Amino acid sequence: MPEVAGLYYEFHGPEGAPPLILSSGLGGSAGYWTPNLPALSKHFRVLAYDQRGTGRSDRALPETTSIEDMADDVIALMDALDIETAHVIGHALGAMIGIEAALKSQRIDKLVAVNGWRTLSPHTARCFEARLALLRGAGVEAFLRAQPLFLYPPDWITRHDADLETELAHHLASFPGAVTMEKRIAAVRAYAPSAERLAQLADVLVIATRDDFLVPHASALDLAEPIPGADVATFNWGGHACNVSDPAGFDRLVLNFLKD
């Protein structure tokens, strides 16, 4: 199992192609990007990884963790794997990891931030409180059964209900634990980069989805406002995990940006 610094990683695509790092959201798993790997790996040397505390990576977390810590992990991966610079696609929490890695290291070429934010909206805060209440009061299975409601549009869930039920056993087996999940939620809720820091970024594509149940469309778009020359794109449908619900549209959009 490939691992450095306690982090599981996997490569896809031809050696020598430009590096592209994929950083997932709250679940933290490299497997989140499975629908996108065939298209992205045709053009890039794709590096997907399990974030610390999740999946096949080191499950031990300090008493508190932060987006800054998670960005340090990305930089440590780049160092260990001799990646001088790379593009990054980050989803939600992963978008914030990409932002912080770019600000810390100046080693991120182009960044795609999918359904992220720079200020936690009251709606998103309520969603997190509801999810934490489920985790604390009803347990891990109830937390995971509710998860698709925050990720996908209702009609997509209806069409893929059998698949989601099949995946539940895998998610239960790989769940990082309630304590770790609470630490990860606390980290993403606390991260609030200033406009001054965001203004240091360049070559950023901000993606927002109109029917995202977790992150309001306006909140996701607001991330682009302080970034000079940021590209902005909107999906009219697809929910929070638009790269999963509409992989063909997502892949086409990000490849046009990354290859330009």
Q: What is the C-alpha separation between 237 and 201, in angstroms, rounded?
A: 28
Given a cut of 90, whether residue 1 has pLDDT beyond it is: no
Q: Which one-letter DSSP state was computed for residue 54?
A: S
**Which pLDDT value is given to residue 260?**
86
Read off the pLDDT of residues 10-61 as tens digits, 9 standing for 90 and up.
999 999 999 999 999 999 999 999 999 999 999 999 999 999 999 999 998 9
**Which pLDDT value is given to residue 150?**
98
Displacement of CA 219 from its chain's centroid (Å): 16
pTM of the model: 0.97
Given a cut of 90, whether residue 182 has pLDDT beyond it is: yes
Nearest partner of 93 among 9, 136, 29, 31, judged by Cα: 29
Read off the pLDDT of residues 201-258 as tens digits, 9 standing for 90 and up.
999 999 999 999 999 999 999 999 999 999 999 999 999 999 999 999 999 999 999 9
Q: What is the C-alpha separation between 72 and 66, in angstroms, rounded?
A: 10
% of the chain at pLDDT higher than 90: 98
Delimit the domains of the chain by residue range: 3-259
Q: What's the average model confidence in pLDDT over 184-193?
A: 97
Q: What is the C-alpha separation between 208 and 31, in angstroms, rounded?
A: 22
> Helices 178-190 & 122-137, crossing angle to 10 degrees?
170
Nearest partner of 151 among 20, 9, 35, 10, judged by Cα: 35
Read off the pLDDT of residues 68-116 as tens digits, 9 standing for 90 and up.
999 999 999 999 999 999 999 999 999 999 999 999 999 999 999 999 9
CATH number of 3-259: 3.40.50.1820
Q: What's the average model confidence in pLDDT over 138-163?
A: 98
**Which pLDDT value is given to residue 83?**
98
Indicate the pLDDT class of residue 196, thresholds 50, 70 and 90.
Answer: very high
